[in-house]
Structure 1
Amino acid sequence: MIVDITIANFRSIKDKQTFSLYAENQSSHLEDNIVYPGDTKYGVHRTAGVYGANASGKSNLLLAFMALRYVATSSGDLKEGDKINYEPYLLSNSTKNAPIEFEIEFFLKDGLRYLYNITYNGSQILTESLDYYPSRSKANLFKRLESDTWEDITFGSHYKGGKKKIAFFKNNSYLSKAGNSADSPEIIREIFNFFRQDFSHAAATSNIGAFGWKKDPEMISVVSKILNKVDTGIVDIEFEDDKDVLKNYKFPDSISESIKKEVLEELSKKAFFSHIDDHFEKVLFDKDLESTGTLKLFEMLPVLLKTFEKGGVLLLDELDNSFHPHIAELIIKLFNSKEVNKKNAQLIFSTHNLNLMSPKIFRRDQIWLTEKNNGSTLITSLDEFNKNTVKMNSPFNKWYDDGRFGAIPEIDFYAISKAICNKGKNNA
């Protein structure tokens, strides 16, 4: 589970910003929203929502998790001299060539807390370290400085159980090389797999990460039941092979045959939705006859179910996109339910849906705001506002809409209307 992430010089995020799922005030308010990993008193939220104007940095915050995942798990595939995927803040000369910085604190399933830190530019990993808390005191597992080669990297006394020194190029993270090596210590492989397997990023239109579900009768049954219970009229789902989809489908040369087969099998399954007519007979509807909202929920449900099944972190951009507010609220409630979410999966999402900004759904420290300051994204929690004014039962959504928390677009109606009215006059 993620505790927090600190980001600097990534896309619109210039200065260090910290986004946290740590439960600052462990009161009885919505206490089911909090998990205590490893049976500790250290509370972590299951869900968090990010609000802000368009282009304020909401999506970039979510993408930071995936950029970290890339450098931690995939930079090891880079050949010597290859460029790292490097996206610094571009609106300042001081940052255009400066390092990107990520620091993330998290719990593994062993109940221990870890801290991973990495800085890099377009050509090399500059620094990298991994610490953990075997007790209240922090202990280092490995540390890499800017001048270190693979022979110079240092290791802590707690880092045991396998081969530690593993060769890497300067554009490879140590974690990405050691974590993908069978003879490295087990702990480094577990952390590598945490980043590789437990991070999923999706828009509300994608079932990426849920390949194979169309061949799983139990999964199909659950998806059908949920669609029925949210009043879509659907009573069942059937799949038929549609070979026409595959006629002109091309893959990059680097994709393995096994993955090609899996993707083609998924794409070739065309969904039909059963409804009941006035004679109580089933009638199959092509997906073109279903609403956009129904189809997006259909695409999203397998991702949610897979996430509940295995745990991990789901990063969902634009939760409100084509979902009725009650459906979006349902998704959040499922993640906050300890009966449904038994593996303590986490949902981090962006949204404009003010109905979700409610003290009946979220605590103050689960609501985050992004806004621009001279082009740079600032990230703040509702919990950072005066607690004597913003109470647990305050009308968050109304006050946000009134502009009391900032993070809303500044719209100049006069200037916009003038620009429209003057269209063409300059060329007359």
Structure 2
Amino acid sequence: MIVELVVENFRSIKEKQRLSLVKSNFGDADNNSFNPLAPGTSDLLKSAAIYGANAAGKSNFILALSTMQEIVIMSAKDRQRGYNLPVQPFKLCDSTIDEPTEFEVTFIADSVKYQYGFSTNSTQITAEWLYAFPNGKPQRWFIRVLDPETSEYVWDFGSYLMGKKQLWKEATRSNSLFLSTAIMLNSEQLKPVYDWFYKTLKLSGISGWNMEYTAKLCQKNESKEHVLNFLKAADLDIDDIRVDTKKMDKTYFPDELPASIKEKMLEELEGEEFHEIKTIHKTSSGKNMSFDLSDESDGTQKIFAFAGPWIDSLNKGKVLFIDELHDSLHPSIVKFLVSLFHDKKTNPNNAQLIFTTHETSILDQNIFRRDQVWFCNKEKNQSTSLYPLTDFSPRKGVENLEKAYLTGRYGALPLISALEYIGE
């Protein structure tokens, strides 16, 4: 479960921006919120939608968390000394271009709230911190700060963190996280923090997921039934799915591909498995007709790719971040996907969905609480600002949110000017 995300000086995000999933005091329906049963934590929201113009920076919030996840998971494994970290500061201001990027996320794992973050430039971690709230009160587990004068780290370990702290400290490279290093060296106490990034947090860009996860589910009868139910609920006329596992060989490549390229690719890929996915439809006479999944519409392919992660996340209480959820999907399908997170029957473990979208038809107070809607705006200095709908105190059950947004009441719209000359 995620409580809050904070990002500063990352790509179009200049000033510190905050996305909160904490339920507000607005008297809206409680179906879209839940009690996380963690000491010191308020009720949380099951979903949040982020609206904004193209190039306003919506995607950068998802990219920021994706970058944070990548550094957590990979920094101790694959980042050799001197390897650059994948961050990019706000470049349109002299005061930020040489400053570090900061990420912080507050989340709940195993019924304990954690507040973890770090700041970094492309060459080294400049600060890292972790607080835990097992009893509702903050416990400092560790703080690490780079002293710019000595280029050495100042460390502060709280008494609550157990284990071989000195060993982990000495093994932590300047471009690696202490959290990742300690996990690699068998810290049991820090596993819930690391596992939240590795197992619970799931992110997808505009292209969505590939088909592999859903395809694997379709190879087992019980889980395939869940996928088919998902597809039928989304009004896809698919009666069955057939998945064949094949090994890579020369027949996989098109005939027109030069033999030399085929041989080179086979050296790298030969023996690897891939899935051939077929959708089964009923003909007018009741016979089965199979199609390659690639022959289906873009929307059908995207829903199929979503099915596995959606089912898995709802069953296991994961946190999904999706960029441009509406892409290639009908508004009714978007509403259907969101509603699965709001329904206690389909979301018994309080999974959460955070997504960016341009689909305004779902901006409805019957779908969202007012505190679930956020806006992303591009400021005059070309930086990104993020703010909630609740800043405007919309009247419950009275204000038409879609109309108000499209007429500019909440900002976060493109400023379109007339085009006077288009050329010959």
Q: TM-score, normalising length from structure 2? A: 0.88
Identify the match of residue 303 of structure 1 among 309, 312, 324. Answer: 309
1:377 — aligned with what?
384
The change in CA–CA distance for 1:39 and 1:197 in structure 2 (over 3 A counts) is: closer
Structure 2: tracts of 5 or more residues without a match: 255-261
Q: Secondary structure at the match of 2:37?
A: helix
Q: Distance in 1 between matches of 2:153 and 2:416?
A: 56
Question: Within 5 Å, which residues of 2 pair with 1:7-406?
Answer: 7-25=7-25, 27=27, 29-38=28-37, 42-77=42-77, 78-109=79-110, 111-147=111-147, 153-160=155-162, 162-165=163-166, 166=168, 167-182=171-186, 184=187, 186-202=188-204, 203=206, 205-207=208-210, 210=213, 212-241=216-245, 243=248, 244-245=251-252, 248=262, 264-265=272-273, 268-373=274-379, 374-385=381-392, 387=393, 389-391=394-396, 393-406=398-411
**Counterparts of 2:361 and 2:332 in 1: how far apart (Å)?**
9
Shift in CA distance, 344/80, structure 1 to aligned 2, threshold 3 Å: same
**Whole-angstrom CA distance in 2 between matches of 1:324 and 1:365:** 24
Amino acid corresponding to residue 286 of structure 1 in structure 2: D
Moved more, 323-332 or 213-222: 213-222
What secondary structure is seen at the aligned counterpart in 1 of 2:358? coil
SS of the residue corresponding to residue 215 of structure 1 reads coil
Partners of 1:48 and 1:201 lie apart in 2 by: 14
TM-score, normalised on structure 1?
0.87
Shift of 1:390: 3.9
Q: What is the one-letter code of the residue matched to 2:232?
A: N
**Secondary structure class of the residue paired with 2:116:** strand
Shift, 1:81, TM fit: 1.6
Structure 1 residues 246 and 159: alpha-carbon distance in aligned structure 2, compared to 1, 3 A threshold: farther
Distance 1:158 1:339 in 2: 38
2:38–2:113 Cα contact (<8 Å) kept:
no
Return the offset for 1:246. Answer: 6.8
Are the equivalent residues in 2 in contact too, given 1:125–1:172 (CA < 8 A)?
A: yes
Query: Residues 218 and 242 of structure 2 are in contact (CA less than 8 Å); yes or no, is this contact kept in structure 1?
Result: no
Give % identity.
32
**How many aligned positions are there?**
403
Cα pair 1:130 1:140 within 8 Å, conserved: yes
